[in-house]
Structure 1
Amino acid sequence: MGNLLRELRDPETGRWLPKEVWYRVRGAIAVLLSLGVLVGGGWFVYGKVQEAWLAYRTVDDYIDPAGVADVMVEIPQGSTTNKIADILLAANVIRTAKAFDRAAAADPDVRKIQYGLYKLRTQIPGKTALQMLLDPANQVKNQFQIREGLRLSEVITSLAATTKVSEKDLNAVLKDRKSLGLPSWIGKSNEGFIFPDTYDLPLKPTAASVLKLPINQFKKTLQDLAFEERASVLGYKPYDVLIIASIIEREVFRDDDRAKVARVFYNRLKQGMPLQSDATVAYSVNKTGTIWTSDADRGKKNTSPYNTYQRKGLPPGPITAPAKKAMEAALSPADGDWLYFVPINLDTGETVFSDNYPDQKKAEAQLKQWCLASPANRKKCA
């Protein structure tokens, strides 16, 4: 800095040199002007690039995450990402399917979107729509349940009451077997495939849309369990294993006993013994809510093919739609030589398994003793 000042003064007199000062000032002004042009041009270019990017984004996407208005959207069971995008587009939630697809491609959680009803906003960015679908708080819970162990007539009555779809319409859909997409090995009975679970009620329920939910879940469960392949390994047709699973569903009190009960039935089938299942007999005489049967129910006058005290082999069809645990047990029977089983405590579900009839009679005596222990117990054994 000192050298610069000396250059601007006369070395003899020490006075400023006007020409030299002007020359230096003019050069500095030129530099500043050049910098100004560069900076201003940079901001201009930046603004234009940002403007172009926003224009590009808004061509296929909304930019306001607050949206415009509330809207109810239904995501059907088994919807793909592309299907969801189409549904959102039709409901004016997103501007283009591309906007949602782009957000979904960047977020692996897209696979966690559940089917059902959602409260969303119209005209929101694809990313915002995805976030709202992944937030359980936005899902509208309007559910119905199919309980385990019910026979089909009970299921239809329950569905009609909870969904407001008539029993007549529900039964009409079940008659159109081709439309249900069931495996070819499913028998003529409609028992066995209305899978027990809790489902989200469609926005505008119809007989077809309501029944599609448990039937699709049944087919998915078959795939998850590799049902057909594992039944073949056991040496049985898949429909036979489904029938056994349905009996297990009605007969067994505790999870730990399911596979052992399955083994009892397979052992009896191999030895040519009747299954002697009270659950199938109760089905044959249209008893609901209990599997207890009388001597008359089990007697020869009951010629139903579901009277497994009088007829050997399996009944012609399932007696209920088994849940996944019962299906798994039928596919994976425990190892053992048991031929009999009987619960000896109906409160705890404690069950005795025997491989000979004398031991079975002792277990039956234990059950009788438990039943007579109190009025409450006698009522449970009735």
Structure 2
Amino acid sequence: MDLDHLLGAEDDEGPRRGSRSSRAGRSRSRRRQRRQRRKGYAAFLLAMIIIVGVVGAGGYYGYTWIRGVTTVKDYTGQGSGEVVVTIKEGQSAGDVAQTLVDQGVVASERAFINAIGAAGKSASLQPGEYKLRKGMAAAQAVPLLDPELRLKTTLTLREGLRLSQVYEQLSTATGRSVKEFQAAAKDAKGLGLPSYARGRLEGFAFPATYEVSPRTSPEELLGAMVERFDRAADDAGLVAGARRVGLTPLQVITVASIVQAESGKYEDMPKVARVIYNRLNRDPQMKLQMDSTVMYGLGEYGIAATHEQLKSKSPYNTYARLGLPPGPIGNPGDHAIEAALNPAEGPWLYFVTVDPKKKITKFTDSEAEFFKLAEEFNRSQDGG
């Protein structure tokens, strides 16, 4: 009985214990499910936040990229400093845009192309040098490329200048040193000197008006002068004309340089040339006795050589030597070359510029008359 009682007791309590255990298990299961749902929801929220962040960042960077592609890089304002830009023959607006970017004038090629297109000036770009500024808005740069604003200096070289004087004037106009021009003058082939010049530029740097700038090289300038001489020589028929007067082209230019130096007026030039030819062709030949050649040989200036200067041993002293000097004594112009090729007809052997201020020159074939003219010159110099 006791055992049965005990066993029964166990049987009686067994179901009650099992019932409580089942309820507890179900409770724990529900709690686990709730925790899992909460975890799943949190994970979902986290995933959504990440997705939204990625999409947002992608959108931002995408927008930034698109804006960078569609927005043209450009400076603002008028810039600062100074830049000299060269537009070369045949360059397109795109070529010019690249040059401007390379020199720091505009921020991008597209900015300039857009600006010049908007201004309707794409076809108006002209070769030359222009002054702009660094860091300019493209729209500000376009007006400064107007052909009327090209940098240029007009330099007129008068007839009869010696080469040394030409160098000095070119140096002043360009800022280049005289030595640079002297060095450039040695390259006869590069300058295009005619063969009869014998490698010397004196006499062939033609007097005319030239456009120069600080960026123009000595070689370019001197070459332009030789080219201008070639045109003048062709126009005058120099080579054929030299044969006609019995001289070489170099000798004709030498005569022309003396005519240029000795003449007060254009109308006197053919007569001065005739005096030179009459002396050269006289039998026996007379010395030219030109003060201008003496001064050139001494590297000095003046219209009348002194007795001391006349003692010069220079090959240009035509008081001491027969014939023409070894080369031109300056750079003659059209009129002097024309006179050397077509001297006036006349018997004159002498001439004297009796009044240098009024440029009055008198001619004679008489030595006695010459001395009278010389006295007239002296009186004008003394103020008498």
Same fold (TM over 0.5): yes
After TM superposition, list the pairs within 5 Å mapping 1:122-201 onto structure 2: 124=121, 141-201=152-212
What is the letter of the counterpart of residue 232 of structure 1? R
What is the letter of the counterpart of residue 204 of structure 1? R
Deviations 1:304-358 (A, max 9, x none): 1100001010000111111111111111110111000001111211111001211
After TM superposition, list the pairs within 5 Å mapping 1:1-382 onto structure 2: 86-87=90-91, 124=121, 141-202=152-213, 204-271=215-282, 272-288=285-301, 290-299=302-311, 302-373=312-383
Rounded Cα–Cα distance in structure 1 between residues aligned with 2:377 and 2:276 = 21
Tell me: CA distance 1:92–1:319, structure 2 relative to 1, closer, same or farther (3 Å).
same
Structure 1 or 2, whichever has the larger Rg, is: 2
Other-structure match for 1:20: none
Tell me: CA distance 1:225–1:73, structure 2 relative to 1, closer, same or farther (3 Å).
farther
Rounded Cα–Cα distance in structure 1 between residues aligned with 2:85 and 2:338 = 38
Other-structure match for 1:60: none
Q: Secondary structure at the match of 1:344?
A: strand
Contact 2:153 2:173 in 1 (8 A): no
Q: Secondary structure at the match of 2:375?
A: helix
Rounded Cα–Cα distance in structure 1 between residues aligned with 2:358 and 2:210 = 30
Give the superposed CA RMSD.
2.7
Rounded Cα–Cα distance in structure 1 between residues aligned with 2:316 and 2:241 = 25
Rounded Cα–Cα distance in structure 2 between residues aligned with 1:149 and 1:157 = 14
Deviations 1:90-147 (A, max 9, x none): 8659xxxxxxxxxxxxxxxxxxxxxxxxxxx776476x679xxxx9956654222323
Tell me: CA distance 1:242–1:136, structure 2 relative to 1, closer, same or farther (3 Å).
farther
Tell me: CA distance 1:137–1:208, structure 2 relative to 1, closer, same or farther (3 Å).
same
Q: Secondary structure at the match of 1:338?
A: coil
Rounded Cα–Cα distance in structure 2 between residues aligned with 1:338 and 1:203 = 48
Rounded Cα–Cα distance in structure 1 between residues aligned with 2:94 and 2:159 = 38
Rounded Cα–Cα distance in structure 2 between residues aligned with 1:307 and 1:173 = 28
Other-structure match for 2:22: none
Tell me: CA distance 1:250–1:72, structure 2 relative to 1, closer, same or farther (3 Å).
same
Tell me: CA distance 1:138–1:298, structure 2 relative to 1, closer, same or farther (3 Å).
same
The structural deviation recorded for 1:169 is 1.8
Rounded Cα–Cα distance in structure 1 between residues aligned with 2:171 and 2:379 = 42
Tell me: CA distance 1:355–1:171, structure 2 relative to 1, closer, same or farther (3 Å).
same
The structural deviation recorded for 1:164 is 0.9
What is the letter of the counterpart of residue 351 of structure 1? T
Contact 2:174 2:215 in 1 (8 A): no
TM-score (norm 1): 0.62
Tell me: CA distance 1:364–1:203, structure 2 relative to 1, closer, same or farther (3 Å).
closer
Contact 1:73 1:88 in 2 (8 A): no
Rounded Cα–Cα distance in structure 2 between residues aligned with 1:90 and 1:180 = 33
Contact 2:162 2:329 in 1 (8 A): yes
Rounded Cα–Cα distance in structure 2 between residues aligned with 1:74 and 1:202 = 14
Tell me: CA distance 1:368–1:163, structure 2 relative to 1, closer, same or farther (3 Å).
same
The structural deviation recorded for 1:151 is 1.6
Contact 2:275 2:350 in 1 (8 A): yes
Tell me: CA distance 1:322–1:74, structure 2 relative to 1, closer, same or farther (3 Å).
farther
What is the letter of the counterpart of residue 198 of structure 2? G
Aligned pair count reads 261
TM-score (norm 2): 0.62
Rounded Cα–Cα distance in structure 2 between residues aligned with 1:335 and 1:136 = 51
Contact 1:193 1:218 in 2 (8 A): yes
Contact 1:186 1:239 in 2 (8 A): yes
The structural deviation recorded for 1:361 is 1.1
Runs of 4+ in 1 over 6 A off after TM superposition: 71-75
